[in-house]
Every structure is written in structure tokens, then in C-alpha cells.
């Protein structure tokens, strides 16, 4: 049971980081379109970090690895 709770928590965190990353990347595009290059660059870098954390570090490294380990 403890492993299922950890898996659900990791999945929820991965989704939250990924959605935050997508939102920040949208803000980056809007900043670039508005001519604010420095703000757009800042949002782009922050969005990439959030997407990396959500998709790869939490999603792939933790959720997929835990799910495969639980399935075996």
C-alpha cells in the first residue's frame, strides 16, 4: 500500500510540474511576441527546467521505474 501512495504522489507531482512548465512556456511565447526578449528568455529557461523535472526526473525516472518495479 505504501508503494502505491508513493507512486500516486510522484505521478501527481510529475503532472503538476509538467503543467506548470507548459504554462510558463506559453508565457514565454507571449513575451517574445510582445517584444520582451529578456522576459521571454527567462520564461523559456524556467519552462524548460520545469518540463525536464516533470517529464524526465519525476515522470520517467520515478513513476515509470516504480511502476515497472511494482509490476515485476
Strand, coil or helix: what is 37? helix
C-alpha count within 13 angstroms, C-beta hemisphere, residue 19: 6
The count of structural domains within the chain is 1
Q: Which three cell numbers stand for residue 36?
A: 520582451
pLDDT digits (tens, 9 = 90+) for 9-63: 888 999 999 999 999 999 999 999 999 999 999 999 999 999 999 999 988 888 7
User: CA–CA separation, 67 vs 54, rounded Å?
Assistant: 16
Q: What's this model's pTM, rounded to 2 decimal places? A: 0.84
pLDDT the model gives residue 34: 96
Query: Where is pLDDT greater, at 65 or 43?
Result: 43
- The parent domain of residue 27 ranges over 2-71
pLDDT the model gives residue 58: 87
Amino acid at each position: 500500500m505504501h508503494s502505491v501512495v508513493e507512486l500516486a504522489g510522484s505521478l501527481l507531482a510529475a503532472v503538476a510540474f509538467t503543467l506548470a512548465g507548459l504554462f510558463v512556456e506559453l508565457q514565454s511565447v507571449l513575451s517574445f511576441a510582445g517584444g520582451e526578449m529578456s522576459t521571454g528568455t527567462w520564461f523559456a529557461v524556467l519552462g524548460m527546467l520545469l518540463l525536464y523535472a516533470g517529464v524526465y526526473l519525476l515522470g520517467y525516472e520515478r513513476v515509470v521505474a516504480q511502476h515497472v518495479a511494482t509490476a515485476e
